[in-house]
Amino acid sequence: MKARTTQRAGAAATRRLVLASASPARLQLMRQAGLSPEVVVSGVDESAVTAPRVGELVALLASAKALAVAKGETDALVVAADSLLEFRGAAMGKPVDAAEARTRWQRMSGRRGTLHTGQALFDVRGGTIAAREVGVTSTVVHFACPTPAEIEAYLATGEPLAVAGAFTLDGLGAPFVRRIEGDPSAVVGLSLPLLRTHLAGLGLAITDLWRR
């Protein structure tokens, strides 16, 4: 069910915006876009969610996270996201250890993968989910060829162990990405253009939620 009634800008500005994620990168993205969300971690067991395709999987995970947080809200806009790198047909989340991250970089070097970001926006009113918007943004990432020494230095920072695909576009991993085809914000963790579209689907303009 989707809400199609346009909400007044003043009323929209008073809505609580909740980010259902512990990701500092997603929170920073939203803040840079003029938004001020509260953070509520979903606690969803991601290993219990399965799907035949990577794009479907990230959409299901984002929806599950949004639903888990929305159940505890009475009046809020709940945003959730999940990202996975698809490389040679396999889904890659966060590496379990440095050895796995090293192997990934050795395989990805000079090649490309597709970063899928699933995103969900749930509109909670009166303790009920009045509407929901779910979508996926897919961005092709072309990797550079870091030297073995550069890979080891990057692993030593710990950054690749904390992110899907073992790389970042907004951190220390940026020099090892040659270029992307698609939405850069989705690679960081949350598609701002898709968030704008989802808000419009609920009768809201993203500008209505800018910090006053």
Non-local CB neighbours of 115 within 8 Å, separated by 6+ positions: 83, 84, 85, 86, 138, 139, 140, 141, 164, 165, 186, 187
Active site residues: 82
Give per-residue pLDDT as tens, 81-101: 999 999 999 999 999 999 999
pLDDT score of 3: 43
Is the pLDDT confidence value at 114 over 90?
Answer: yes
What's the pTM value of the predicted model, to 2 decimals?
0.90
Q: End-to-end alpha-carbon separation of the chain, Å?
A: 30
- Looking at residue 28, what is its pLDDT? 95
For 145-174, what is the mean pLDDT?
A: 96
pLDDT digits (tens, 9 = 90+) for 34-85: 999 999 999 898 889 999 999 999 999 999 999 999 999 999 999 999 999 9
User: So what's the pLDDT on residue 14?
Assistant: 75
Residue 6 has pLDDT above 60, yes or no: no
H-type alpha helices, the chain: 9-13, 24-32, 54-70, 98-108, 148-157, 184-188, 192-201
Mean pLDDT of 147-156: 98
The reported pLDDT for the residue numbered 126 is 95
Q: Does domain 9-209 have CATH number 3.10.20.310?
A: no
| pLDDT score of 9 | 52
Q: Indicate if the pLDDT at residue 2 is higher than 90.
A: no
Per-residue pLDDT for 12 more than 60? Answer: yes
